[in-house]
Amino acid sequence: MKTKRLIVLLVLLIGLLASACAPSAQSDLADRFAGTWSGPMSFTDRNHTEDVFVTIPSDCAIGDVCGEIFNAAVNCTWEVQLEAIKGDIFEYTFSKTLSGECPAMGNGTLTLQEAEGTLVREHKTPDFTSSGILGRQAEGYKPMYGFAGIWSGAVSFSDDPDRKHDMEFSIPVGCKDGNTCGGMVDYTANCGVSMTLASASASVFKYEFPTVNVMECPYGGAGTLTLQPDGSFLLEHTSPNLTMNGELSRK
């Protein structure tokens, strides 16, 4: 009897050890896909390509949320759920829409091409199929999600409250903290300045004016662009000599 009990305990112990190791093995497989990837996608229902950004974190488990996919053309971000990893294939579904007005539809695959350092993406919905090749971006690269584009509007200055300046802010689709990330042009003052990305969250883009471009703007300082529910930007900027405030719309 003692021998049988020892055998049963040993079997149970092996089972517990195996189940404890399984998530780690899954994570190791998922980690090969971790990073930020981008590239143009072709669609079966349209004649143009659209730039897509895929961000996959490390330590993903099957069945859990594992990253985001952003389409710059339609300005939508979807949450990705990892369904399975089969060899070099990462299978996912869109679990929900994180930003924009696009529904979360369909599922897809990301096939790792290790020799080329790329991912082949195919996504299927009831209405269309999209496919393309994604390249890995450098470490620290951040897709700008809802911030990317050109924004314009009338901006008020604290040193001249009766006069508004026509301004335009441009933000590219990808940036790194501490690096140049777009710029601002003041058409009223006929000057422009580049921006450095300080940080970006889901709805707040923080920047600094560290250098000047071709047309010098003497503003300096730092500011925030806050994404509003109606799709506009709320600008708040503070410099040593003045503050600026305004609402910007996407062009």
* Predicted confidence (pLDDT) at residue 6 exceeds the cutoff of 50: no
Mean pLDDT across 32-37: 93
pLDDT of residue 22: 44
Residue 165, beta-bridge partner list: 155
* Predicted confidence (pLDDT) at residue 3 exceeds the cutoff of 70: no
Q: How many CA atoms lie within 13 A of 215 on its CB side?
A: 10
* Predicted confidence (pLDDT) at residue 44 exceeds the cutoff of 80: yes
Mean pLDDT across 46-60: 92
In CATH terms, 29-138 corresponds, of 1.10.10, 2.40.128, 1.10.3470, 3.40.50, to 2.40.128
**CA-CA distance, 7 to 15, in Å (whole number)?**
12
Kindly indicate the confidence band of residue 233, based on its pLDDT and cuts at 50, 70 and 90: very high
What is the overall mean pLDDT for the chain?
86
Kindly indicate the confidence band of residue 8, based on its pLDDT and cuts at 50, 70 and 90: very low
CATH class (in words) of the domain with range 145-250: mainly beta
What residues does each domain of the chain span?
Answer: 29-138, 145-250
* Predicted confidence (pLDDT) at residue 236 exceeds the cutoff of 90: yes
pTM: 0.68
Query: Cβ contacts of residue 22 below 8 Å, gap of 6+?
Result: none
CB atoms within 10 A of CB 108: 21
Are 186 and 170 a contacting pair, CB within 8 Å?
no
Mean pLDDT across 161-172: 92
Higher-pLDDT residue of 88 and 140 is 88
Mean pLDDT across 29-54: 92
Same fold? 29-138, 145-250: yes
**CA-CA distance, 28 to 60, in Å (whole number)?**
9
